[in-house]
Amino acid sequence: MSGVSLLTYADRLAGDLPGLDRLLSNELSVFTGAHVLPFFTPFDGDDTGFDPIDHTAVDPRLGSWDDIRGIAAAREVTADLIVNHVSNRSAEFEDWLARGTASPHDGMFLTFDRVFPDRASEADITAFYRPRPGLPFTPYRGADGTRRLVWTTFMPSQIDIDVTHPAGLAYLERLADTLAAGGVGTVRLDAVGYAVKTPGTDSFMTPETLDFVAQAAALIRERGMRVLVEVHAHYSQQQAIAPLVDLVYDFALPPLLLHALGTGRSDRLASWLGIRPANAVTVLDTHDGIGVIDAGPSGDRPGLLSHAEMAEVFRHAHDATGGHSSAASVIPAWLTLPHQINATFFSVLGRDTRRMLLARAVQIFLPGEPQFYYVGVLGGEDDTALFARTGQGRDVNRHVYTPDEIRRALATDVTRGQLALAALRRHPVFDGEFSWEAPDDASLLLRWRGSGHEAVLRVRFDDPDFEITLDGAAVSLTG
């Protein structure tokens, strides 16, 4: 599908959902889709909406389901279905704590003994992969005094759902019904890689997880929506998931581009072009930062980048951001490197407009569905003040824009160039046939042919520069 979607928070870009609709209908009308990050109640919880108290309700401070349907009337809306967890302040969890086995939600929440009914050893417990330091359990006490260890993969306030229990599945079905009624066209399964806990494994993207992905995908497709899966993992996991769903993320692209721009070599990126899934949402940056683990090795599986090359990508980011990226990035338990860079993509590129546009050009020329993050589109730099205020590393890349800041950004070359690239991606040539070649270890040539047209992107990484031609004529991005 031609076109580019915008990934954004309604409040941090436009104040609320009606404001976002106005921006998308005017200054940002070039975007053909919008992934609106969690707008549920509350949108500003412990994890900026990814810890919903009520996943079926639009936070009234942002608007209503009518506003979501209004945005969807002119473009495809993507929304999150947070399959792994819910807030500890949700009515369901509070009722379970109050009533225990008498609660209709008994079984919805994953407890220690549900996974380990016959006890667990130290090796069993420490085998689990968690994207945070520490262990994935939090003690809670019921109203009758019963003490329970509840699974909390991400934060103590984010209670894991037992997706293998009828009560957990009924909850997810209720959410899918709500999203479909709200005009959502694509559902992103958030944090699905952690949803199934299987003793004896690290419980991340196991065969049991893939079975659940297929089950969840069927549930969503039955309601007329597409399925996008979000997983940060070894690239082979994206290859395994791609046939099961409509869309996966190409999270390997950003670190491979940073490696190419840092070393002047295109060979690592070229190796990925030959094997990447075509049904991918392509990104440079997201609300979660810049993934790096996706291109690296995992256990005995080699990566597209080696561990040393991953470390070099982090070092370049550290130098370009004056150390901010290292301060904001978290190293998960049992690992030696962060799994993502917490910084804006523009900051990691040293605020170099040409390099930013080069990276975007590669992104829009690859098969799939390009998605631009609002901070990246506006040439945002690290919001170190917000990070200092909240202590949340990812907030360096989650700036809250004022109308004046947006107006100034729209006049910059870096934003004008990205919007021009988004406009170019709507050309019918991108519905045609794609081909690519690597003339040497420092360059790439990407080509589309279709509808009687030809679009070509020529890129050099050793002295970073690029050229786009459409039907033989050079395409200007800044005027």
- 202 and 281 belong to one structural domain: yes
Q: Which helix (H) or strand (E) holds 178?
A: helix 166-181
CATH of the domain at 149: 3.90.400.10
Domain presence at residue 449: no
Q: For residue 279, how many C-alpha atoms fall within 13 Å in the half-sphere facing its CB?
A: 15
pLDDT one-digit tens code per residue, 315-325: 999 999 998 88
Q: How confident is the model at residue 333 (pLDDT cuts 50, 70, 90)?
A: low
- 269 and 330 belong to one structural domain: yes
Cα 4 to the center of its chain, rounded Å: 15
Domain presence at residue 452: no
Query: Which residues, including other chains, have CB under 8 Å from residue 403's CB and lie 6 or more apart?
Result: none
Structure tokens at 59: 């936070």
Domain presence at residue 441: no
Q: Nearest Cα to 302, choosing from 236, 352, 356?
A: 236
Rounded Cα gap, residues 338 and 172, in angstroms: 31
Structural domain boundaries, residue 118: 91-160
- 225 and 169 belong to one structural domain: yes
Active site residue 46: no
- 311 and 347 belong to one structural domain: yes
E strands within 230-292? 247-250, 280-282, 290-291
Domain presence at residue 472: no
Domain-ending residue, one of 413, 431, 449 = 431
pLDDT one-digit tens code per residue, 397-429: 999 999 999 999 999 999 999 999 999 999 999
pLDDT one-digit tens code per residue, 252-285: 999 999 999 999 999 999 999 999 999 999 999 9
What is the C-alpha end-to-end distance of the chain, expressed in Å?
27
Residues 50, 56, 60, 65: is their CA dihedral positive or negative?
A: positive
Over 60: is that where the pLDDT of 90 sits? yes
Rounded Cα gap, residues 228 and 230, in angstroms: 7
Angle at 122 between CA 121 and CA 128, to 5 degrees: 100
- 72 and 97 belong to one structural domain: no
Rounded Cα gap, residues 318 and 347, in angstroms: 10
Give how many domains the chain has, as a whole number. Answer: 2
> 10 Å Cβ neighbour count for 32?
19
Domain presence at residue 464: no
Rounded Cα gap, residues 285 and 99, in angstroms: 43
Rounded Cα gap, residues 387 and 128, in angstroms: 29
Over 80: is that where the pLDDT of 387 sits? yes
- 151 and 220 belong to one structural domain: no
Over 80: is that where the pLDDT of 103 sits? yes
State which amino acid sits at residue 195. A
Domain presence at residue 465: no
Q: Are 17 and 58 in contact (CB under 8 A)?
A: yes
- 173 and 300 belong to one structural domain: yes
pLDDT > 90 fraction of the chain, expressed in percent and rounded? 86
Q: Which pLDDT value is given to residue 330?
A: 76
Q: How confident is the model at residue 98 (pLDDT cuts 50, 70, 90)?
A: very high
Domain presence at residue 150: yes
- 280 and 371 belong to one structural domain: yes
Selecting among 80, 230, 285, 382, the annotated active-site residue is: 230
For 47, 63, 123, 152, 358, the CA distances from 43, given in Å and listed in that order, are: 9, 11, 37, 20, 34
Domain-ending residue, one of 160, 194, 216 = 160
Which residue reads 């996991």 in tokens? 237
Q: Are 386 and 398 in contact (CB under 8 A)?
A: yes
Give me the DSSP letters along 346-398: HHHTTT-HHHHHHHHHHHHHSSSEEEEEHHHHTT----HHHHHHH--GGGGG-
For 201, 234, 282, 353, the CA distances from 258, given in Å and listed in that order, are: 32, 17, 15, 14
- 357 and 306 belong to one structural domain: yes
Over 70: is that where the pLDDT of 334 sits? no
pLDDT one-digit tens code per residue, 47-73: 899 999 999 999 999 999 999 999 999
Domain presence at residue 65: yes
Q: Which pLDDT value is given to residue 479?
A: 64
Q: Which pLDDT value is given to residue 2?
A: 78
- 233 and 353 belong to one structural domain: yes
Q: What is the DSSP pairing of strand 465-470 with strand 433-437?
A: unpaired
State which amino acid sits at residue 203. S
- 24 and 115 belong to one structural domain: no
Domain-ending residue, one of 160, 176, 210 = 160
Weakest-pLDDT range from 156-160, 232-236, 245-249: 232-236
- 42 and 76 belong to one structural domain: yes
Find the mean pLDDT for residues 8-33: 98
Rounded Cα gap, residues 437 and 457, in angstroms: 11
CATH of the domain at 363: 3.20.20.80
Rounded Cα gap, residues 248 and 207, in angstroms: 17
Q: Which helix (H) or strand (E) holds 420?
A: helix 413-424
Q: Are 367 and 272 in contact (CB under 8 A)?
A: no
Q: Which residues of 190-221 are buried (b: 16+ CB within 10 A; e: fewer)?
A: bbbbbbbbeeebbbbbbeebbebbeebbebbe
Q: Which pLDDT value is given to residue 340?
A: 87
Over 70: is that where the pLDDT of 176 sits? yes
For 43, 115, 242, 288, the CA distances from 50, given in Å and listed in that order, are: 8, 24, 24, 11
Strand partners, 156: none
Q: Is 308 helix (H, G, I), strand (E, B) or coil?
A: helix
Selecting among 11, 47, 76, 190, the annotated active-site residue is: 190
Q: Which pLDDT value is given to residue 1?
A: 52
Give me the DSSP letters along 432-468: SEEEEE-SSTTEEEEEEEETTEEEEEEEETTTTEEEE
**The whole model's pTM is what?**
0.95
Active site residue 190: yes
Radius of gyration of the chain (CA): 22
Q: Which pLDDT value is given to residue 233?
A: 87
